[in-house]
Structure 1
Amino acid sequence: MTELERAIRRLRRKHTVPRLVYRYVSGRPITGRDGYPYLSRGAGRLAGWQRQVIRLSVPATAALAVAQPEQVGSLVGSAALVAGWRARRRFTMRRFNREYVTPTLAALAPAMGLQTGVRLHVDPTLGNLTPRLAKPLSPAEVAVRAWYGERVEPVIRWLPDQAQRAAWAIQRKAEPVTSRLAVFRRPTDPDKGPRIELVADTPYLTKEQRHLVSSIIGSKIPVSDLVESWHQVGPRVTATWTVRKRPPARVGVDQVAEHLPRLAEWEFYIGQGAGDQPVILSLRDDSPHIAVSAGTGAGKSVLAELVAVQVLARGGRVVILDRKGSHRWALGLAGVDYCTRPAQMHDALVRLAALADERNTLALHEPEDWDCGPRVLVIAEELNATIGQLVNFWAEVRGKGDPKRSPAVSALADLLFMGRSAKVNVLAIAQMLTARAIGGPEARENFGIRCLARYTANNWKMLVPEAAMPRASRTLGRWQVVIGGQATEVQVAYLSAADARRLACPRSSGTSQVSGLSSPAGDFLTLRQAIDAGVIPWKLDAAKKRLQRKVGEVPTPRGKSGNADLYARADLARWAGSETGERISQ
Structure 2
Amino acid sequence: MTKTALPTMLSFTDPGLREQIEALPEGTVLIGVSTDGRAVAVDLDAEAPHVLVSTATGGGSTTVLRSLTAQFLHQGAHALVLDPRVSHRWAKDLPAVTHRGNTVGIHDALVGLGDELSRRLDLPDTQLAATPRLIVSMDSTNSTLHQLTRHWETIRDTDDPRTSPAVTALEAALWSGRAARVHVLLDGTPASNVLGAAPHELFGTVILARVTATTWQRLAPLAGPAPTPGKHHGRGHVIQHGEVHETQGIWMTDADVINWLTDPQDPEN
Q: If the length of structure 2 is used for normalisation, what is the TM-score?
A: 0.91
Residue in 2 aligned with 1:343? 104
Local SS of the residue matching 1:362:
coil
1:313–1:506: 8 Å Cα contact kept in structure 2?
Answer: no
Residue 378 (structure 1) aligned with residue 136 (structure 2): yes
Q: In structure 2, the residue corresponding to 1:416 is in which secondary structure?
A: helix
Aligned twin of 2:12: 253
Q: How far does residue 323 in structure 1 lie from its aligned partner after superposition?
A: 1.1
Matched with 2:150 is 392
Structure 2 match to 1:289: 50
What do residues 177-217 of structure 1 show as CA deviations (whole Å, max 9, x unaligned)? xxxxxxxxxxxxx95xxxxxxxxxxxxxxxxxxxxxxxxxx
- What displacement does 1:317 show? 1.3
- Answer yes or no: is 1:441 the counterpart of 2:229: no
| Paired AA for residue 251 in structure 1 | L
Instruction: Report which of the two has the higher share of strand.
Output: 2
Superposition pairs for residues 547-586 of structure 1, below 5 Å? none
2:228 & 2:5 partners in 1: Cα distance? 13
Which one of the candidate residues 332, 335, 345 is aligned to 2:93?
A: 332
User: Quick one: which of 470, 478, 482 aligns to 2:239?
Assistant: 482
Partners of 2:96 and 2:211 lie apart in 1 by 33
The 3 A distance-change label for structure 1 pair 263 and 281 is: same
The question of whether the paired residues in 2 share the 8 Å contact of 1:248 and 1:272 is answered with no
Quick check: 1:252–1:495 contact (8 Å CA) kept in 2?
yes
Q: What residue in structure 2 maps to residue 496 of structure 1?
A: 253
- Give the deviation of 1:486 after TM superposition: 0.4
Letter in 2 for 1:253: F
CA distance in 2, matches of 1:418, 1:372: 18
Matched, 1:425 2:183: yes
SS of the equivalent of 2:8 reads coil
CA distance in 1, matches of 2:57, 2:239: 20
Question: Is the contact made by 2:12 and 2:256 (CA closer than 8 Å) also made in structure 1?
Answer: yes
Contact 2:120 2:128 in 1 (8 A): no
Q: Pick the structure with greater CA Rg.
A: 1
5 Å-filtered alignment, 1:228-377, equals 244-254=3-13, 255-363=16-124, 366=125, 371-377=129-135
1:467 is paired with a residue of what secondary structure?
coil
In angstroms, what is the RMSD of aligned CA positions?
A: 2.1
One-letter code aligned to 2:172: D
Counterparts of 1:477 and 1:467, CA distance in 2: 21
Given that 2:80 and 2:134 are in contact with CA atoms closer than 8 Å, whether structure 1 keeps it comes out as yes
Deviations 1:56-105 (CA, angstroms, capped at 9, x unpaired): xxxxxxxxxxxxxxxxxxxxxxxxxxxxxxxxxxxxxxxxxxxxxxxxxx
Deviation at 1:342, TM superposition (A): 1.4
1:209 equivalent in structure 2? none
Match of 1:452 among 205, 208, 215: 208
Kindly state the Cα deviation for residue 370 of structure 1 after the two structures are TM-superposed: 5.5
Provide closer, same or farther for how the CA distance between residues 418 and 481 of structure 1 changes in structure 2, counting only shifts above 3 A: same
Map of 2:228 onto structure 1: 471
1:416 aligns with 2:174: yes
The SS at the match of 1:401 is coil
**1:227 equivalent in structure 2:** none
Task: Count matched residues.
Answer: 263
Equivalent residues of 1:481, 1:489 under 8 A apart: yes
Q: For residue 246 of structure 1, report the CA deviation from its aligned partner.
A: 4.1
CA distance in 1, matches of 2:167, 2:197: 14
Call closer, same or farther: CA 1:256–1:502 in 2, change over 3 Å.
Answer: farther
Cross-structure match for 1:135:
none
Residue aligning to 1:462: 218
Residue 299 to residue 286, structure 1, CA distance change in 2 (3 Å): same
Structure with higher helix content: 1
Amino acid at match of 1:435: S
Q: Unmatched 5+ residue regions in structure 2? A: none
1:252 maps to a residue whose letter is S
Q: Which amino acid aligns with 1:492?
A: G
Instruction: Check whether the contact 2:208–2:236 (CA below 8 A) recurs between aligned residues.
Output: yes
Question: Equivalents in 2 of 1:398, 1:420: separation in Å?
Answer: 30
Q: Does the CA-based 8 Å contact 1:417-1:443 persist in structure 2?
A: no
